[in-house]
């Protein structure tokens, strides 16, 4: 069964974090959706995939990247509003 979630990360952001942590794990787990940097410390992600893949993806986000661990992670259900065409995009 698939699920779609909206994830908000509060972390010292960089393009490197977004590409190396988030996109890498999304592609590895066959998660589709989008991720973008909202402001200097907030990343918004919409992720759609199997229940187990989403759980593993969230666990990977808690691990952080090169010492940059999120101070806040909010996960909430989200209605899939468009077709992500099977890929994860960084906007």
Position with higher pLDDT, 14 vs 43: 43
Query: In terms of DSSP bridges, do strands 32-39 and 88-90 run parallel, antiparallel, or are they unpaired?
Result: parallel
10-21: pLDDT as tens digits: 887 667 776 778
Cβ distance 28 to 20 under 8 Å? no
48-73: pLDDT as tens digits: 999 999 999 999 998 887 777 888 99
The pair of three-digit structure tokens given for residue 76, joined into one six-digit string: 């909430």
Strand order across the beta sheet in which 2-10 lies? 72-77, 2-10, 42-50, 32-39, 88-90
pLDDT range class, residue 27, cuts 50, 70, 90: very high
81-91: pLDDT as tens digits: 778 888 888 88
Q: Does domain 2-90 have CATH number 3.60.15.10?
A: no
- The whole-number pLDDT of residue 14 equals 67
1-10: pLDDT as tens digits: 889 999 998 8
- The whole-number pLDDT of residue 45 equals 94
Q: Where are the domains of the chain?
A: 2-90
The span from the CA of 88 to the CA of 76, in Å, is 18
The pair of three-digit structure tokens given for residue 48, joined into one six-digit string: 């759609």
The pair of three-digit structure tokens given for residue 44, joined into one six-digit string: 């918004």
């Amino acid at each position: 069964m698939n699920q779609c979630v909206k994830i908000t990360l509060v972390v010292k952001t960089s393009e490197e974090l977004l590409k190396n942590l988030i996109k890498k794990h999304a592609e590895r787990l066959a998660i589709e959706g989008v991720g973008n940097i909202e402001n200097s410390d907030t990343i918004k992600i919409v992720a759609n995939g199997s229940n187990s893949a989403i759980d593993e993806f969230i666990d990977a986000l808690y691990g952080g990247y090169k010492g940059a661990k999120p101070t806040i992670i909010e996960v909430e259900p989200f209605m899939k509003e468009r077709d992500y065409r099977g890929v994860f995009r960084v906007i």
